[in-house]
Amino acid sequence: MTAIRVALAGAGNCAWSFTQFAALAQADPDTRLPGLMCHTVGGYRLADVRVVAAFDVDAAKVGRPLAEAFTAPAIAATAFTELGGDRNAPVLPAPVLDGLTGPLGSVVQAATAARDATPEDVAKALVEHDVDVLVIALPTGASRAVRMFADAALAAGAAVVNCTPEELARDEDVSRRFADAGVVLLGDDLRSHLGATCLHTALIELMLSRGLELTSTYQLNVGGNTDFLNLADAGRSASKFTSKANALRAAGMTDVDGVAGPTGFIGHLGDSKVCFANVRAKSVLGSEVRIDIKLTVEDSPNAAGVIANAVRAAKTAADRGLSGKVDAPSPLLFKSPPRGLPESEARAAFLGFAS
């Protein structure tokens, strides 16, 4: 297979873990890596993915090769392996827009080149680097920046994977524009490989499959990376709560007292995320079943496994002549796709698409 040329909108923690995951695959293409659900998607291996450029606003990253940018102070994700051929991909300036609004502005200094950058610069760079897929991994709440990158990708003819909860694929106008232009759009809000939403929705589906009646549920998440710092601002986290609610409804939760979303920043946790979840239901004779769980994961590698699938799914969809939103792979990859499905159905739909 030919290489899938990927650009990263946001050279942060998730981008760092994803690039390392690709590097491991490139070093030994036939190895089945832990956490890689599908060795091939549409015939593409993870080893076929090449990160050819990234965009950021951080003065510690812009103008540096990718391997150096990932050593910036804002990076909390673990360095598991060295990068291979992607290490020298350039980190290009992106327009700041609303990317640093809120707490992030106190820990990230915008590069001068980013303050001067234009959307036209981004579109031109996507063309110059012959990008197949643009992965948007910007801070939650950066709706203007997310839309700008979507427009730039549309102008350049590059497929989009929207890892953020800002609505693109769910926005009918945006999806229609991508469809009319013949460009693939996957989203919204990346669903971690085995994260809080994945576990929570699986529990809901299990209870409903046994005929239980849900009565209440919650999912509370805390972490220590810049994503959680950003989400500590209620004005920035609103779309995340909406996205998680969409995921629970897709699992079958209706008319139930439920809350799910980020609830705190604890700096010393670093890239670790801790989820506390509770599900209550009525069972036989009105007896109660209650499940309390605590899940601890390293946040960014958990996202990398899904990005690895999403990038290959986007390229496969483009190869097949699809455009706009693509339903089959999306429910497994995203919390808030245009059409959600319970976990088991989402997995079956993805595997059918991937084969």
Task: Evaluate if pTM is beyond 0.85.
Answer: yes
- Work out the angle between the directed axes of helices 143-156 and 172-181 (0-180°, nearest 10): 20
Residues comprising the chain, all counted: 355
- Work out the angle between the directed axes of helices 299-319 and 13-27 (0-180°, nearest 10): 70
- Domain map of the chain by residue range? 4-191+301-354, 196-298
Residue 253 clears pLDDT 90, i.e. is over it: no
Q: CA 123 → CA 130, 135, 148, 252, 274, distances in Å?
A: 11, 14, 10, 40, 38
At 199-208, the pLDDT tens digits run: 999 999 999 9
The CATH number, out of the four listed (3.30.360.10, 3.40.50.1100, 3.10.105.10, 3.40.718.10), of the domain defined by the range 196-298: 3.30.360.10
4-191+301-354, CATH topology level: Rossmann fold (3.40.50)
pLDDT at 125: 98
Q: CA 253 → CA 143, 208, 246, distances in Å?
A: 28, 9, 9
Mean pLDDT of 132-158: 97
pLDDT at 114: 96
21 within 8 A of 33, measured Cβ to Cβ? yes
Q: How many CA atoms lie within 13 A of 183 on its CB side?
A: 24
Same CATH topology for 4-191+301-354 and 196-298: the answer is: no
Kindly state the tokens that stand for 151: 């427009």
Q: CA 251 → CA 7, 56, 68, 114, 214, distances in Å?
A: 32, 35, 41, 41, 12
More confident: 256 or 281: 281
